[in-house]
Amino acid sequence: MKGDIIGIDLGTTNSCAAIVEDDGNVKIIPYRGGETTIPSIFAIDDKGNELVGYEAKRQWLLNPRRTVYGAKRLVGRDYQEGFVKKMGEYFAYDMKPGEEHNVAIQLGEKDFNLQQISSKILNVVRTVASDYLKRPISRAVVTVPAYFNDRQRQAVKEAGDLIGLEVVRIINEPTAAAMAYGIRRNLNQTVAIYDLGGGTFDMSVIDIRGRTFEVRATGGDIFLGGIDWDNALIRYVIDDFKAKHGIDLSSDPIAMQRIKDLAERTKIDLSSRTEAPFSIPFVTMTPEGTPLDINMVITRKIFEDLTDALVKRTIEIADMVTEMRDIKHPFEQGIVAQKGIEF
């Protein structure tokens, strides 16, 4: 590996790390079980144990008030911001004003600020990378959304400091994508970046001139992401079950956790298959004690119909951003995305 440094994508929904190998190729560092991402979720269980990643995700719906997700949206923000109050409508955990007017989160008897929670996610990513590389990791480049202000960027650096991880550089996510696309090609062109993440959607137009990358236009929707595709399928399954059995599963946290997990897997399966079974045995029982199952087949056509409005929303934003740069056919130029930054 070229230098003891890794790249980290601290995502809203999932996080991961990558390295540049000696031959110049970039490799995503795998997690156990073959996964390449780690859920950006932190929790305190009923026994007071701290959980991060998949362990936290598994008990999310069972313990929502002690499970922090979407922390990236709040890091470095002032508690009094209207945005923070708006996010409070989406999150089940308790937010309160912390030191220096930032956001604090109460989990059981403990209070955490967003830097602390981000540091715990960063630490798991760093540990996975260290185990894979069989050497300590003390430095990293971390990507952040283009809309992050100086205070938010500083909060990310502070999160690294809490675990002894030096954040040597913070790069905008669109710029990182543009680098991956063009850094070794010596390009002279304009590219559009369509970045649909787990929790947010971003669209950027960037001029690449050799080793210089300049953002010309950017936009997005911080309330539009892959989780909305999951939720569309979840609602379809719940409504179908209620129509068949007269039972609303949305009030059953255990059933909802099983449905949510399978909805995400089904979404992924439908990327390579035209249909996928959606089966959950013994999801609940009738008042008489008879067990009930979910047994459905979700076709790609059904899923596309359920999420058509979401796709159209991304295209509307993409059109808006590219019109700002007067690009008529951005997607013919490649999907990729600091101003005047040089590497």
Separation of alpha carbons 58 and 16, rounded Å: 19
Name the residue with tokens 């999951």: 230
Separation of alpha carbons 54 and 143, rounded Å: 22
Closest CA to 310 of 218, 233, 209, 207: 233
Separation of alpha carbons 184 and 251, rounded Å: 52
Read off the amino acid at residue 64: P
Contact 181, 336 (CB under 8 A): yes
Q: Is 35 a catalytic residue?
A: no
- Per DSSP, the three-state class of 36 is coil
Q: Which of 158, 173, 202, 264 is catalytic?
A: 173
Q: Is 27 a catalytic residue?
A: no
Separation of alpha carbons 179 and 195, rounded Å: 14
- Residue 16, C-beta contacts closer than 8 angstroms, at least 6 positions apart: 8, 9, 28, 29, 31, 36, 37, 38, 125
Q: Which of 72, 120, 260, 267 is catalytic?
A: 72
Separation of alpha carbons 137 and 116, rounded Å: 19
Paired strand residues for 67: 43
Q: Which of 120, 158, 195, 267 is catalytic?
A: 195
Q: Is 94 a catalytic residue?
A: no
Residue 300, both tokens: 């790609």
Q: Is 173 a catalytic residue?
A: yes
Q: Which of 9, 158, 230, 264 is catalytic?
A: 9
The residues that are catalytic are 9, 72, 173, 195
